[in-house]
Amino acid sequence: MSDARFPDGFVWGAATAAYQVEGAVDADGRGQSIWDTFCRVPGAIAGGDTGDVACDHYHRYAEDIGLLAELGLGAYRFSIAWPRIQPDGSGAINQKGLDHYRRVVDELLTRNVVPYVTLYHWDLPQALQDKGGWPARATAYRFADYAAVVHEALGDVVQHWITLNEPKVSSHAGYGSGIHAPGIKDSVLRDRAVHHLLLAHGLSLQALRDGRHAAGQQVGLTLDVSPVAPASDSQADADAARRVDVDSHRLFLDPVLRGTYPIHLDAVEDGDLGLISAPIDFLGINYYRRILVQAGPTGDETVLPEGVPVTSVNWPVQPDGLREVLVDLQTTYPAIPPIYITENGAAYDDVPAEDGTVDDPQRVDYLHGHLSALRTAIAAGVDVRGYFVWTLLDNFEWAEGFAKRFGIVHVDYATQIRTPKTSAGWLGRVARANALPSGDRPA
């Protein structure tokens, strides 16, 4: 295999999340989610934006899947909206919701695009939040019930399942800092949410394996992981970096891959860690940036490195951090399963030209750099099976609203017109060749 090529069978795809793209929040019996509620809190979302319409992917999924296939990307990672399946988070099943996702999967298979289904991408039914949300242990069991319902409906044709996307964000941003739904700031509730999210993973993993399923079914979990380094040589900064790494990464990696927590959590009950650490078929890794930490007067602080370019969300662009993350994971967890990069991408201020085209050379450079780093990690022996760009479409970026664009396809939110950017064509050529272009610069 040449330095530019990826392994035979390497998966190339794009990722989205239900609340960020679907819209149609009142369609076909969908219930309310915590994000529907949070978007109504004054000042919670930039510009007062909501996901009520978003990219209207609920109605335009066939068009969007067609774009994906035409680009040459052979896989689509999307999430199921729990409130579409169980409007109240438990009990009655909304058949119209299941029928919708069956049509999505059928469209993908017709286009020879492989579905990778994420069961939870942060849109908890509001009815369950009203009963305590993720800090309540019962929510983990309700999630397993929901997972079983979806699996019964789609498990005969969907082979690849992801239980949770980034439980750290659900717990830390939702119940710790309060910058995401449901907007709670409580360290005790945050830690309970951490454990119950991971318990939900373990219980749903068991449910998916117990149900009828397609041959070759694989079930995994997606975590967001970054290299963490101290901002200086001081002991205080070194200690701060260790704390951040434990709180952001080891708190989730250790229970899943080792069956232990790096700190004490009061919510753990006998048997929980056995469920959480049951072997998974793959680990999804979302990578966006390195984290540089210093000890501040009121707590540990993330700082920007000097002289490093940043994206429009002020994240430093350091592609080698992806290689660093992957090599560290393999070294720290020797029994780690195969890995998929389930998200990687960048937000830039993409402006259409007068002729309607959207040239995004910064994103092309970003993707080229990160894929080069990924290829180096694979050459070093890390078992990476695929790469999903974040994201297919410009969309509702949570607390940032519609102000930040991560898509390889531009969306005019007023008209819903889709325009593939330069980066979309470039990534499609990489996927078709299963190799990076030759030379030092992206072609």
Residues annotated catalytic, as ranges: 166, 343
Comparing C-alpha atoms, which of 12, 21, 17, 47 is closest to residue 418? Answer: 21
C-beta of residue 440 within 8 angstroms of C-beta of residue 7: no
From the number of C-beta atoms within 10 Å of its C-beta (0-12, 13-18, 19+), residue 56 rates as: middle
In this structure, the number of other CB atoms found within 10 A of the CB of residue 40 comes to 11
Phi, psi of 383 (to 5 degrees): -85, 90
Nearest residue to 2 via CA among 364, 440, 437: 437
Record the tokens describing residue 20, joined without a space. 């960020």
230 Cβ neighbours under 8 A, 6+ residues apart: 237, 238, 240, 241, 292, 293, 294
Under 8 Å between Cβ of 105 and 61: no
Q: Is 181 left (phi over 0), alpha (psi -120 to 50) or beta?
A: beta
Alpha-carbon distance of 347 to 363, in angstroms, equals 8
Residue 397: both structure tokens together: 């970026």
